[in-house]
Amino acid sequence: MPTISALGIGSGLDLNGLLDQLNSAEREKLVPIVDKQRSFEAKLSALGQFRSALESFQDKVDQLSDGTAFQSVTSSSTSEGISVAATRDAVPGQYNIDVTQLAGTYSIATTGLDARDEYLGAGTITITLANNTSVEVDIDGEASTLNDVRDAINKSGIDIQASVVDDGSDAPYRLSIGSVEAGEDAAITNIDFGALAGSLVLDDATEVQGQNAQLTVNGIDIVSQTNQVEGALEGLTLALLEEGEVGVRIDVDNETIRSGVAEFVEAYNRLQTEIDNLTRYEPESGVSGALLGDSTLRSVQVQLRGIFTTGRPEGELVQLSDSGIAMQLDGTLEVDEDILSDIVEEQLAELSAFFAGDDSGDGIAERLSAALQALLDSDGIINSASDSLDRRIDALDQRQERVEASIDRTVERYRKQFSQLDILVGNLNSTSAYVAQQFDILNAQLSQRV
């Protein structure tokens, strides 16, 4: 009997169509599993969004929790002779600065030579700085032109630089050697050309002494190795550009402080909006957030609101509303700009204590920071909820694999049974046709005898 390669050929029945229907019916078993997978994956993604919103809020909280945000200052000067950079450590006030001397670098040049490529000979050049640092520069006899000496000095690894200058005279080419850093300590104190002294001679008329910057701040003498004066005034860096008198003023940066508090409020409101979106339910459309009914978000929300409503145990600013911030009925915060501006200008220390704390107790930003860190830690409730969903998704993946394997076995069993049925019906059809043919032959023979 020939092997039937496709269902239905032997029997004429649509066995392939029937097998497809049975396969579809079996695969309906996967629908609830896939639905649960999608639901858990949506919740996992939503938790990721929630974590991101928490981290954004945490960034703004941390900016207020250590108190440095309330120490922001601005700087200004009465002329362009000094550039001022101020940090939060700078003390507000007026500073009168008189720059009597700018720091400068040391330099000196040799007498002129007729050509750049003039052979100078081999030898060792020794250069010594005021800080007792020295270097020996070896000059190879095969590479001893003025340019070669320049390059060797520049590669010596010490803070000196050399260049070849053309002064336009009859013997125009001079070797100029100078210190890289300004100030007396970085100045060159001695240059010994050794065996090259016959070709290279220092021109004392070109010598420029290295010098320190000299200035007074509110009448106090200050000396600086460079024109970048740091540490003379706490929190201030002065870049000296010109000699002369300059007034420098440091003020509290009220606008930056107000902005910091406002950004804190905005970040919390974005977090609140995210929570509302993830837990919303719209009766008309039947649409719901991915974390509707999830206890994790509500637990976080209650914890954060508890910190806001508790406030501080003592101080001039105790409740959130005292600082010009009010909690609305929908759970968001609103800033009264006028009240906040007045507090920044008149009660800055109290505002800092309210958020960052002081000797009397923690501020609300400190408590919020600690709470957020606990929530976002590896063993916090956010990670725990995510890990739980991951385990459920893994379990569903394994269950799906088992169900799919079972379906495949069932469909294959149907296929084998249908194949046997196809062969059987095909054989029966063949036998029926043969019997019918024999009856036809017999009837024909009987008709001829008659």
Answer yes or no: do 281 and 375 share one domain: yes
pTM, whole model, 2 decimals? 0.66
The pLDDT tens digits of the residues spanning 244-286 come to 999 999 999 999 999 999 999 999 999 999 988 888 877 877 7
Answer yes or no: do 97 and 242 share one domain: yes
What pLDDT is recorded for position 445? 66
Helix 364-376 × helix 348-356 angle, to 10°: 30
Answer yes or no: do 181 and 292 share one domain: no
Of the two residues 89 and 448, the one the predictor is more confident about is: 89
On average, the pLDDT of the chain sits at 86
What pLDDT is recorded for position 3? 40
The pLDDT tens digits of the residues spanning 217-251 come to 999 999 999 999 998 888 899 999 999 999 999 99
pLDDT bin (cut points 50, 70, 90) of residue 113 is: very high
Does residue 327 belong to any structural domain of this protein?
no
pLDDT for 440 beyond 70: no
Is residue 39 exposed (0-12), middle (13-18) or buried (19+ Cβ within 10 Å)? middle
Answer yes or no: do 132 and 193 share one domain: yes
| Residue where a domain stops, chosen among 180, 208, 236 | 208
Per cent of the chain over pLDDT 70 is: 91
| Buried residues in 162-179 as b, exposed as e (16+ CB within 10 A) | bebeeeeeeeebbbbbbb
Do 271 and 56 contact (CB within 8 A), yes or no?
A: yes
Answer yes or no: do 277 and 376 share one domain: yes
Rounded to whole angstroms, the Cα distance separating 12 from 428 reads: 12
Does residue 342 belong to any structural domain of this protein?
no
Per cent of the chain over pLDDT 90 is: 43
Q: Which two tokens stand for residue 153?
A: 């000095």
Does residue 62 belong to any structural domain of this protein?
yes
Q: What are phi and psi of 433, to 5 degrees?
A: -65, -40
What pLDDT is recorded for position 93? 92
The pLDDT tens digits of the residues spanning 42-65 come to 888 888 898 999 999 999 999 999
CA atoms within 13 A of residue 74's CA, in its CB half-sphere: 8
Q: In 3D, which of 327, 321, 355 has the Cα closest to residue 340?
A: 321
What pLDDT is recorded for position 200? 93
Answer yes or no: do 83 and 140 share one domain: no
Answer yes or no: do 375 and 438 share one domain: yes
Domain tally for the chain? 3
| Average pLDDT value for residue range 194-211 | 93
The pLDDT tens digits of the residues spanning 149-177 come to 999 999 998 899 999 999 999 999 999 99
Is residue 371 exposed (0-12), middle (13-18) or buried (19+ Cβ within 10 Å)? middle
For the chain, the three-class secondary structure string (H helix, E strand, C coil) is CCCCCCCCCCCCCCHHHHHHHHHHHHHHHHHHHHHHHHHHHHHHHHHHHHHHHHHHHHHHHHHHHCCHHHHCEEEEECCCCEEEEECCCCCCEEEEEEEEECCECCEEEECCECCCCCCCCCEEEEEEECCCCEEEEEECCCCCCHHHHHHHHHCCCCCEEEEEEECCCCCCEEEEEEECCCCHHHCEEEEECHHHHHCCCEEEEEEECCECEEEEECCEEEEECCCEEECCCCCEEEEECCCEEEEEEEEECHHHHHHHHHHHHHHHHHHHHHHHHHCCEECCCCEECCCCCCHHHHHHHHHHHHHHHHCCCCCCCCCHHHHCEEECCCCCEEECHHHHHHHHHHCHHHHHHHHHCECCECCHHHHHHHHHHHHHCCCCHHHHHHHHHHHHHHHHHHHHHHHHHHHHHHHHHHHHHHHHHHHHHHHHHHHHHHHHHHHHHHHHHHHHHC
Answer yes or no: do 298 and 403 share one domain: yes
Structural domain range at position 233:
73-102+213-252
CATH number at residue 172: 2.60.40
Report the C-alpha dihedral over residues 9, 14, 16, 17, rounded to 10 degrees: 160
Rounded to whole angstroms, the Cα distance separating 173 from 111 reads: 8
Does residue 439 belong to any structural domain of this protein?
yes
Cα separation values, 125 from 24, 113, 149, 175, 177, Å: 92, 18, 9, 13, 12
